Structure 1
Amino acid sequence: MATTTIQVSRETRDHLATLAAERGITLGQLVQQLAEREPTKDQIAERLRADRDHARALMGVDMSDEEFDEAPDILGNIYRIAAQKVRAARGEAA
């Protein structure tokens, strides 16, 4: 693996070195872990797409992205829709 150098203040370097030592890892490993925890905008968009696709599949409802975006309480709406589907499957009144 190729490596590179980054420039930070001494205070930042010392802080990161202390964190790495406390965790028993190298400074490079710490920076890598920190970078992996912070998704890029593209990664966030992909996770959102995957989550919406998963919700659609679980609910059996084809909600558009606009409906997801406009929903004031999407999680509440998902629970409501799912409960309606369960009641319908059981033959219960809505």
Structure 2
Amino acid sequence: MASTTIRVRRDTRDHLAELADERGMSIGELVDVLATAYPTAVQRAGLLAADREVVRRLIGVDISDEEFDRAPDVLGNIRKLAAQKILATRKP
């Protein structure tokens, strides 16, 4: 694989070197991991499209992207309900 050089502040380089060392990897490998963890807008759009296709296939209904966009945040609502239940069980 071809490599390249990037310019960063010295303190940033030192910080990256320490993080990489703690994980037993090179700075280049750490940067690869970090870059993979933060997909670009185009990559996120592709992941969203793929996820929507899976949902369409699983439920057997052709839901348009506009309908997906208007749909309630099911996962967000589940998280809110779970948080409410956890808070309700805590003693003041």
- The answer to whether the superposition gives a TM-score over 0.5 is yes
Residue correspondence of structure 1 range 23-62 to structure 2 within 5 A: 23-62=23-62
How far 1:67 sits from its partner (Å)?
0.3
Structure 2 segments unaligned to the other structure (5+ residues): 77-92
Specify the alignment match of 2:65 in structure 1. 65
Aligned length: 76
How far 1:74 sits from its partner (Å)?
4.7
Does residue 1:16 correspond to 2:16, yes or no? yes
How far 1:55 sits from its partner (Å)?
0.3
Indicate if the aligned counterparts of 1:17 and 1:27 stay in contact, CA closer than 8 A: yes
Letter of the 1:31 partner, please give it.
V
Letter of the 2:16 partner, please give it.
L
For residue 35 of structure 1, give the secondary structure of its aligned residue in structure 2: helix
How far 1:70 sits from its partner (Å)?
0.9
Q: CA RMSD in A?
A: 1.5
TM-score normalised by the chain length of structure 1: 0.74
Letter of the 1:66 partner, please give it.
E
Structure 1 segments unaligned to the other structure (5+ residues): 77-94
For residue 12 of structure 2, give the secondary structure of its aligned residue in structure 1: helix
Residues 66/19 of structure 1: CA separation in 2 closer, same or farther (3 Å cut): same
Q: Which has the higher contact order (CA 8 A, sep 6+)?
A: 1
